[in-house]
Amino acid sequence: MIDLSVDEEHDALRATVREFAREEVAPVIGDLYEREEFPYALVAKMGEMGLFGLPIPEEHGGMGGDYFALCLALEELARVDSSVAITLEAGVSLGAMPLYRFGTAEQKERWLPPLAAGTALGAFGLTEPGGGSDAGATKTRAVRDGDSWVVNGSKSFITNSGTDITSLVTATAVTGTDDNGRKRISAIIIPSGTPGFEVSRKYSKVGWNASDTRGLSFTDVRVPAENLLGTEGRGYAQFLSTLDEGRVAIAALSVGLAQGCVDESLTYAAERSAFGHNIGSYQAIQFKIADMEVRTHTARLAYYAAASKMLRGQPFKKEAAIAKLVASNAAMDNARDATQIFGGYGFMNEYPVGRFYRDAKILEIGEGTSEVQRMLIARELGLAG
């Protein structure tokens, strides 16, 4: 028998995060978004709630839960705001999880407890200015010099990399070449404040305005040899597996945004009158909201299916790509339709759907564009390219 229900523990978490999002995030996020201000107080509260440690074992300072719990939390946060949700997603999926998956006992002991507590944030340095989707074209280099790695290069669009509580960036770098000339890409932990490690000013972004996104540069950055994360030459493969997990999380965040569009549209349709009737009584609006609900429901099933395979230890690359593609499309389509339902008010930043519309587009780009997801799905189907 197929059971798509959520157990009591997960449901209790979902309810707790839903209340936090409505009572704590919703009243303040509009001003933070407009000022492009990072939500330090909200991050601290999420840390106290244990959200940053949801999939991290208790021995490393986490909650001992699973990745599906993180996905449920992201969905509920994104129903209200995506800047807060992406701060959590990147902090856990891209900051902490690579250390948990591939770190040594010493690395986990040093770095994971504050990351799991939300008192520190980690970042994931993969994308480069000239790379984009072609992450294998990494130009950043790390050269072994005695007991150190010396890193030179740059990264772009890195979330959580320049906050006051950012403790590290795990960056991919070329550490040599194989006999066939192929680059050996490794992952190296670079602590914040290391000499030669410079963080740019915040980007001026279309959306996610209350989150932290910056470019990075490394000029003769010297870190201890033991800061190598995982196996030398396996950094790219490690990060590909990290991205598979991250795509499930981004799908959950996308579902949250899509559901938020439904929530706001239902409320507005019941309150707004035109031509003597609430606009929700008109079939044009009813059908639009019905389509929005269908997209959201379908996308939720897609990420549930991917998360289920992931938690069972089964291959889930194709399912993660499907979930990310379907959910990001649903978020973008729902944001557009919600803005249309709100009319002129939908174009005003004071209304949540205005933020939703600005935040939705990046979901079709970040952690693998929609085109990359289609490429991955085709490969998993056995289509060569």
pLDDT at 41: 98
In a domain, 385, yes or no: no
Does 192 share its domain with 284?
no
**Is position 249 within any domain?**
yes
What's the whole-number mean pLDDT along residues 143-160? 97
pLDDT classification of 74: cutoffs 50, 70, 90: very high
Same domain? For 28 and 73 the reply is yes
Q: Are both 296 and 354 inside the same structural domain?
A: yes
On whether both 82 and 24 belong to a single domain, the answer is yes
Tell me the H-state helices in 79-181: 82-89, 97-102, 105-117
Distance CA 160, CA 211 (A): 7
Q: Are residue 284 and residue 336 in the same domain, yes or no? A: yes
Tell me: do 187 and 217 sit in the same domain. yes
104-134 per-position pLDDT tens digit: 999 999 999 999 999 999 999 999 987 666 6
Catalytic residues: 367
Single residue among 204, 232, 260 that ends a domain in this structure: 232
**DSSP letter (8 states) at residue 370:** H
* The pLDDT value given to residue 241: 86
Question: How many other C-beta atoms can be found within 10 angstroms of the C-beta atom of residue 200?
Answer: 16
Domain count, the chain: 3
* Mean pLDDT along residues 239-264: 95
Mean pLDDT for all residues in the chain: 94
Rounded CA separation 374/380 (Å):
10
pLDDT at 8 over 60: yes
Tens digits of residue pLDDT in 25-46: 999 999 999 999 999 999 999 9
Domain ranges, residue 29: 8-121
End residue of a domain, out of 89, 121, 153: 121
Average pLDDT score over residue span 181-196: 94
User: Do 138 and 216 reside in the same domain of the chain?
Assistant: yes
* pTM, two decimal places: 0.95
pLDDT band at 1 (very low <50, low <70, confident <90, very high): very low
pLDDT of residue 56: 96
Give tens-digit pLDDT for 277-334: 999 999 999 999 999 999 999 999 999 999 999 999 999 999 999 999 999 999 999 9
- Cα separations in angstroms, 133 against 75, 128, 182: 25, 9, 18
